[in-house]
Amino acid sequence: MKFYENGDGLTEPRGFFCSGIHCDIKGKRDGNLDLGIIYSSKPCHAAAVFTTNDIKAAPVLYSQSLILDPKATFHAIVANSGNANACTGNQGKLDTIKMGKETARHLKAQPHEVFVCSTGRIGVTLPMSKITAGIRDACEDVMEGFDGAKAFQQAILTSDTCTKSCSAIITTRYGEICIGGVVKGAGMIEPNMATMLAFLTTDAGASNAYLQKVLQKAVDKSFNRITIDGDMSTNDSVIMLANGNTGIEVSSEDESLDQAFQKAVEVVCQCLAKKCVTDGEKVTKFVSIQIQGANSNKDAEKVGRCIANSLLVKSSWYGSDPNWGRIVDAAGYAKVGLEFEKIDMFYNEVPALQKGEPIERNKSQWKAIASQRAFTIKLDLNQGSGESEIWGNDLSEEYVNFNKSE
């Protein structure tokens, strides 16, 4: 497998085009790009995973309805930043439908062939006159073959400080297959997923059912393992399009091809998920929390999440304080029947606890590790064979200041 970061992402698979334009959705006249299109002239099969929040934005409900048809095909995704179109009542639903219809009209497609995604402030209706004009311009760009991969990446950002993209190429006995991806997300990050939009494209062919299986498994191993602040958004969406441009059909029937494709999608999703954490709002530390020896994988995940979401733990990480007491306390309120006397704990590979006994002679090493930009905390609960990994971050004063108001 060949793997690339920070490139064009979505347009690296053959037959996909992107655009990104400024239509001043927030009314700030700052020139920031805020609306984009992903387009394939060939019809695509698709898969999608959405927020589990009970309060779902109009674009999420709309796009969810499109994917219900197992034989549905798609040509495009239209996405905007600066406004989530969430909690906007019937007007929000009508605006979402109009976004889909306008995009389809300009691309000479059908409305049910266009996914709609939004991200930004909740509770404010969309400025539809600006949106429709922006859709017209963005569609013109993709129809003319405009190289807008980077522009699209910019157009979906909110509080992100950088664009996030990657791609993977697998060589099969039939030829090469490419999977590209981009993501936005820096806050309200807690699975299942977060104020996060992620888009994947591939030039392989596959059925909707097969793609859904692959994407769900990849999401469970990536986006559903990250947490920044414990909040969950109304707009989370991960959408994958497959246009079959290579003529290579992937399915569960070809085991070796299936495994290679699954692995490549997982690698792309995991890369994008980690980029979300490292670009979290005012984050200074990336922490991998590895739990093993639990009674079940579910128990291991609960322990990892309690640690990653503890404000006391996150604050100590910000201060580069290797406070193992806060970590085991957070693990304890996962309530999975832990016995402190059985726990082994490590900062990277340096022991902090062995069977519940602190290894004080290693304290200076813990401190040095906790001062690094990225490090690993591993807990062996010594109860069973369950394991899980969660990716989290610290909590800084700047995060609080940044989120005092919108």
The residues annotated as belonging to the active site are: 195
**Distance between CA atoms of 160 and 194, rounded to whole angstroms?**
13
Contacts of 246 (CB under 8 A, 6+ apart): 14, 174, 175, 176, 177, 203, 204, 205
Pick from 394, 319, 52, 46: nearest CA to 191: 52
CA atoms within 13 Å, Cβ hemisphere of 206 = 28
**Distance between CA atoms of 232 and 336, rounded to whole angstroms?**
24
Q: Are strands 197-202 and 237-242 parallel, antiparallel or unpaired?
A: parallel
Pick from 327, 311, 313, 312: nearest CA to 381: 327
How does DSSP assign 308-374, residue by residue?
A: HH-HHHHHHHHTT---HHHHHHHHHTT-S---GGG-EEEETTEEEEETTEE-GGGHHHHHHHHTSSE
Three-class SS state of 8: coil
**Distance between CA atoms of 135 and 127, rounded to whole angstroms?**
12
Amino acid at the residue 60: V
Tokens representing 279 are: 């670009």
Tell me which residue has tokens 């909040």: 231
**Distance between CA atoms of 54 and 125, rounded to whole angstroms?**
20
Tell me which residue has tokens 């980077």: 150
Contacts of 323 (CB under 8 A, 6+ apart): 312, 313, 316
Tokens representing 374 are: 């990225």
Tokens representing 42 are: 């060939």
What element of type H or E holds 386?
Answer: strand 386-393
Tell me which residue has tokens 């994947």: 200
